[in-house]
Amino acid sequence: MRGFAMFTFEQDTLDGAVRLQLTNTKTGERVTFMPEFGGNVNSLILAKGKKLYPIIQGYKKRSDFISDQHCKSWHLIPFPHRVKDGQYFFQDHVYQLPVNEADRHHARHGFYAHRHLQIESVREEADSISLRLGDKYLGEIPGYPFLFRTDITYTLHAERGFICTTEIKNIDTNTMPLGAGWHPYFKIGGSVDELMLRLPTAYKVELDQRMLPTGMLDETPAFQDFVALRGLRLDTLFQFAPHDDGIAALELYHPQLNLRLQFGLEIGPQKYNFIYLYIPPSRDAIAVNPMTCNSDAFNSGEGLIVLASGETFRGTCGIRLA
């Protein structure tokens, strides 16, 4: 254990896999990460007043990180959601990614979830502690020959909650296509049926039976006021409208607990302009997945980030309770 005046950084194991933890010793707030699995955020406990609330649903066994299809807290790099049939055309070349969604025959959610990240730094400030994990991708995956470096900085802040900043730098000599996202499952209370949801101005993206965009947007903004999730089915993609301050804040509200989870995202050029919401059949959590691009952006170009050699994408999101 490495100790600081207000914070600690610890390392142990979960079912044989290395687990890292940041803790605020004054509040009891803490967050754990699994560097062997793409820096997965496997648990997050934040405080409102003097009470602590676990709010991210993670895994309890090493095998679940490998075999579970719910993709809990995956970093969706170098593309979120789907690439149709795993195939895309970029700068006069056709590329074929591994198809890992057999029933719809797509490449899904990138390949970063099983990258083994290294500890780059642990840094304490007066009111926060940050852990930086890094990885260098050297073209190992078929269909994505572009070299890049990823650095993910996780911060536990005394006032601002939890902050995640993702940086992806093109270290190739060639231009590269890129999308990024994150796939946390939020769990507050016993069931999502106890929750209400509010979005900033956002429009539903129409998807076909293969979960690919049709090119149509619902013209009516969704969830602009709090809507009860009881009985509501969600497996839905939304696109944010531009915001002057460059921030979109989603809120989950638990009336009985009088608890609000606020999920703030950077939006704007090359930021998190899409969000995917999914309630699994168990209805015990809701996946809230910020994405920089539309589904199948490697083919449509919608929201696709094109990084020249030496350029860096940077995106930040944050979670707090109120």
Dihedral (CA of 233, 198, 188, 276) sign? positive
Query: Which residue range(s) make up the domain with 163?
Result: 2-321
* Percentage, residues of the chain above pLDDT 70: 98
Please compute, for residue 243, the number of CA atoms within 13 A of its CA located in the half-sphere on the CB side.
19
The pLDDT assigned to 208 comes to 95
- The helix (H) or strand (E) run that includes residue 298 is helix 297-300
Q: Report the distance separating Cα 148 and Cα 176, nearest Å.
A: 9
Contact 239, 302 (CB under 8 A): no
Average pLDDT, rounded, for the chain: 97
What are the pLDDT digits (tens) for 62-107?
999 998 889 999 999 999 999 999 999 999 999 999 999 999 999 9
Structural tokens at position 71: 């993709």
Q: Number of folded domains in the chain? A: 1
Q: What share of the chain is helix, strand, coil (3-state, %, to 5)?
A: 5, 50, 45
Residue type at 20 in one-letter notation: L
The pLDDT assigned to 2 comes to 58
* Rounded mean pLDDT, 289-304: 98
The CA angle 94-96-97, to the nearest 5 degrees, is 140
DSSP letters along 106-169, please?
Answer: EEES-SGGG---EEEEEEEETTEEEEEEEEEE-S-STT----EEEEEEEEEETTTEEEEEEEEE
Sheet order of strands, 17-24 included: 2-3, 7-14, 17-24, 30-34, 40-48, 51-54
Domain of 161, CATH number, reads 2.70.98.10
The pLDDT assigned to 5 comes to 67
The pLDDT assigned to 244 comes to 80
Q: Which residue has the tokens 């109120």?
A: 322
pTM above 0.85, yes or no: yes
Q: Report the distance separating Cα 291 and Cα 80, nearest Å.
A: 6
The pLDDT assigned to 203 comes to 97
Contact 162, 184 (CB under 8 A): no
The pLDDT assigned to 1 comes to 60
Using a 10 angstrom Cβ sphere, with 0-12 exposed, 13-18 middle and 19 or more buried, the burial of residue 43 is: buried
Q: How many CB atoms lie within 10 A of CB 88?
A: 23
Structural tokens at position 261: 């989870």
The length of the chain, given as a count of residues: 322
Contact 286, 135 (CB under 8 A): no
* Percentage, residues of the chain above pLDDT 90: 96
What are the pLDDT digits (tens) for 201-252?
999 999 999 999 999 999 899 999 999 999 999 999 999 999 888 999 999 9
What are the pLDDT digits (tens) for 149-205?
999 999 999 999 999 999 999 999 999 999 999 999 999 999 999 999 999 999 999
